[in-house]
Amino acid sequence: MDTTPDAIFSTDRDGLILLGNHATETLFGYNAEEFTKISFSKILVDFDDPPSELNRIATSLNLVGERRVGRRRNGDVFPLEIIVGKMEAGNRRGYVASIRDVTQRVQIEMRLEQSRKLESIGQLAAGVAHEINTPMQYICDNVSFLQESVDDLFSLVERYSAVIESQCESASCDKVFEGIRKAREDLDIDYLAEEAPRAAKQTIAGVKQVQKIVSSMKKISHPGNDRIELADINEIIEEAITISTNEWRYVADIEVDLDKSITSIPCFSGELSQVFLNLIVNAAHAIDEAKLGLEKGTIKVSSNPLQSGVEVRIEDDGTGIPEEIRDKVFDPFFTTKEVGKGTGQGLSIVYGIVENHNGSIRIESELGLGTTFVVNLPISQEVEIESA
């Protein structure tokens, strides 16, 4: 027992520790003597009622281990997994607990989470590149046009200056005026006057569009938003729409109806972007499959305040989901799409994230008419954010 890196120890029926292996000492920092008779609530954070907590874990038959936070003697906290067994010897009862430090595993999970995010951005990358490239092309054209216009205007201004400086006398004057008139015509100043401001305006709009796409990408892929934070759900939805533009633009019009009264809610904003991104891309695919490129469909995205949370609806007029596969769509790797178009992971990721937010997701769908995914997110995590 002393050679295993897992901490294994017995407790009495009240959760007071009786006997532990070597790892209990290294893991929690107490020596064997100090460890004996210590209460379970001392080594686990928020483990306030050890007998009932231990009993609950023991009867849950959870062999993966329950994830909790451990507290070392010096006050450091770390993630752990605990499995508990009930112990009965004659009329003596107690528990045996096995605890594993999962610090490294949590780090690996965080890295996986990050690479999953980058993967979904990667899948959209070609589309995003296209979305950025289109405005870039006309921005470039416009700026060249503006450059030529400025050259032309200055050459005309030089002629005007010549008139002013020559303090023109009648005979020579006519000639100069004539030159100016001709220059105005050749340079088509009226055209420039109309087009140059328009080109400038369009350029600014294009640059803003590129900025918006880049900033949405940064927000969605940023590792920093793995923590619970207050975030504006409407903003997250808009970012997902921006990033996925190339996926829906050619198959559907998008109608966005976001309730402005929705306040920020505590959430993992990066994860929620994934949810909306997946649902929008799925909607676009379903429409594409239904309309076969003959006409455009409509994706409606709306957010509504609930009594204690937010409801987000993503509605499409695509194929609909047949009754018999409706309870399978959230399964990992379930897909009806051809190889290369879908891996069947989207909705299972969505489900996990929504569950992680204590929310729910449901499907309303009619075959041939379309599908609505309804996501409910509660605000109840407020407590967590305060204690975090």
Ligand X SMILES: Nc1ncnc2c1ncn2[C@@H]1O[C@H](COP(=O)(O)OP(=O)(O)OP(=O)(O)O)[C@@H](O)[C@H]1O
What is the binding site for Mg ion (CB under 5 A)? 282, 346
State the Cα–Cα distance between residues 136 and 68, nearest whole angstrom: 50
CA 6, CA 83: separation in Å to the nearest integer?
11
Contact call for residue 298 and ligand X (CB under 6 A): no
Q: Which of 159, 201, 203, 155 is nearest to 180 (CA)?
A: 159
3 state SS of 191: helix
At its nearest, how many Å lie between ligand X and the CB of residue 273? 15
- Among Mg ion, ligand X, none, residue 343 binds (CB under 5-8 Å by kind): ligand X
CA 77 to chain centre: 28
CB of 238 to Mg ion, least distance (A): 20
Q: What is the dihedral of CA 186, 191, 197, 200, to 10 degrees?
A: -70
- 282 is a site residue for ligand X (CB under 6 A): yes
Rounded to a whole number of angstroms, the minimum distance from the CB of residue 111 to ligand X is: 20
* Residue with Cβ nearer Mg ion (320 or 346): 346
> Is residue 319 part of the contact set for ligand X (CB under 6 A)?
yes
| Interacting span for ligand X (CB under 6 A) from 30-38, 92-100, 141-149, 340-348 | 340-348
Total residues belonging to the chain? 388
According to CB under 6 A, which one of 217, 251, 280, 286 is a site residue for ligand X?
A: 286
3-state secondary structure of 334: coil
Closest CA to 136 of 202, 69, 65: 202
Residue 195 burial (C-beta neighbours within 10 Å; 0-12, 13-18, 19+)? middle
- Comparing CB distances to ligand X, the nearer of 51 and 352 is 352
Tokens of 355: 């569950």
Q: Name which of 36 and 345 has its Cβ closer to ligand X.
A: 345
Judged by CB under 6 A, which stretch of 71-79, 82-90, 251-259, 328-336 contacts ligand X?
A: 328-336
Give yes or no for residue 336 binding ligand X (CB under 6 A). Answer: yes
Report in angstroms how near the CB of residue 322 gets to ligand X at its nearest. 9
Q: How many CB atoms lie within 10 A of CB 97?
A: 27
In the complex, the smallest distance separating the C-beta of residue 331 from ligand X, rounded to whole angstroms, is: 8
Name the binder of 336 from ligand X, Mg ion, none, CB < 5-8 A by kind: ligand X
CA distance 301 to 151: 47
Give the list of residues 6+ apart from residue 376 with CB closer than 8 angstroms, or none: 306, 309, 310, 311, 359, 360, 361
Binding residues for ligand X, rule CB under 6 A, total 21
Cβ nearer to Mg ion, comparing 270 with 346: 346
**Residue number with CB closer to ligand X (127 or 344):** 344
Q: Which helix (H) or strand (E) element contains residue 301?
A: strand 297-306
- Pick from 17, 83, 329, 353 the residue near ligand X by CB under 6 A: 329
* DSSP-based three-state secondary structure for 94: strand
Cβ of residue 278: shortest distance to ligand X, in angstroms? 6
Q: Using CB under 6 A, which of 53, 131, 311, 316 touches ligand X?
A: 316
Binding ligand X by CB under 6 A: which of 225, 245, 371, 381? Answer: 371
The answer to whether 335 contacts ligand X (rule: CB under 6 A) is: yes
Query: In sequence order, which residues have a C-beta less than 8 Å from that of residue 369 and are 6 or more positions away?
Result: 317, 320
Cα separation, 252 vs 183, in Å, equals 49
Which residue ranges make up the site for ligand X (CB under 6 A)? 278, 282-283, 286, 316, 318-319, 321, 329, 334-337, 342-348, 371
